[in-house]
Amino acid sequence: MTSTTLFEPYTLGSLTLSNRIVMAPLTRNRAGPGFVPGDLAAQYYGQRASAGLLISEATQISQQGQGYQDTPGIYSRAQIDGWRKVTTAVHAKGGRIFLQLWHVGRVSHVDLQENGAAPVAPSAIRAATKTFVGNGFVDVSEPRALELDELAGIVNDFRQAAANAIEAGFDGVEIHGANGYLLDQFAKDGANLRTDAYGGSVENRARLMLEVATAVVEEIGAERTGIRISPISPANGVSSSAPQAQFDYIVDQLDVLGIVYIHVVEGATGGSRDVAPFDFGSLRRRFNNTYIANNGYDLELAASRLAEGKADLFAFGRPFIANPDLVERLQTRAPLATFDQATLYGGGSAGYTDYPAIAASSQR
């Protein structure tokens, strides 16, 4: 089997993807007033529509769920209308796109919360991380522990956000259960010290993530529902004393739900693939639908893992920033452009929509 099989069509639920390359979620902090994605976002995603599947930047399901400045939402009419421009642009070029649904939990700052409220979390433990507010990165704020009777409202916010995403024209949604955000905080005992039905045992700590997944499936269907998980990533200060048992159980339950894919960060998010011992093959064997592999993949690694049957789709993140035509560049083994670190977060078109495709690059 050769690397060209990465560029063959793939069936994801009821969708036919043009190839097995996924554009991973990439936070860019460019939403306009009201946290509405604008015309530049439509251009940005449209430029990258040759990916087999695009997964949008993380998108908060409520103001409470926001943790970074100028990230988009999916809870207002203006936000739905703004995202519809994005999905129209992607579909016009034959692409497929899912919206990533996000609640950051404790990874937030009082300046981003309604009336300066404290961020929320499973337990009142401040995260050892920073967030993007104003003109730079600052320490996150001290959170408060969510009351038991608040959790149903958060589940419903995910449900409504999924319905809004479909109204906006998305092909499906990806629940963000990774990288130390709210659902991951509940799942991992380093952040969750609760003694009620949402803390303690493997089953209890998985409860909120699984309730959210169930609600989304009930709202929009399993074939439109995916989830991202990061079993051993220490992102945003989370830790788990027994990640294998925790995520084997979670994936078993997700398989029963029949969701269309799991998107797995293999290792530390954006870092070492070997940050801690973990058998990702166990998740692959437990899940009967699509497995998307993420973290440090290049053409050679993706091709070899595909040949070994270790994943179905492969997510590329930052390479898509400076290479809107990444699929073509990988297929032709053309050189990859590098992105400008200074323009990653916030700003306008510079470092966002002005990276040229390879044909344009060669004419410069």
Name the residues annotated as catalytic. 181
Is residue 291 within 8 Å of 260, Cβ to Cβ?
no
CA distance linking residue 107 with residue 104, whole number of Å: 5
Identity (one letter) of the amino acid at 228?
Answer: R
Q: Which spans in the chain are helix H?
A: 39-47, 77-92, 151-167, 182-187, 202-220, 243-257, 280-286, 299-307, 319-322, 326-332, 358-362
The HSE-up count of residue 189 (CA atoms within 13 Å, CB side) is 15
List all residues 6 or more positions away from 221 whose beta carbon is below 8 Å from its beta carbon: none
List Cα–Cα distances, 35 to 112, 130, 233, 261, in angstroms: 11, 20, 28, 28
Q: How far apart are the C-alpha atoms of 112 and 115, rounded to whole Å?
A: 9
C-alpha gyration radius of the chain: 19
Would you tell me how many other CB atoms lie within 10 Å of the CB of residue 259?
26
| Through-space distance between the first and last CA atoms of the chain, rounded to whole angstroms | 36
Query: Among 356, 363, 364, 313, which residue's Cα sits nearest to residue 336?
Result: 356
Calculate the CA dihedral of residues 352, 358, 359, 362 and round it to 10 degrees: 110
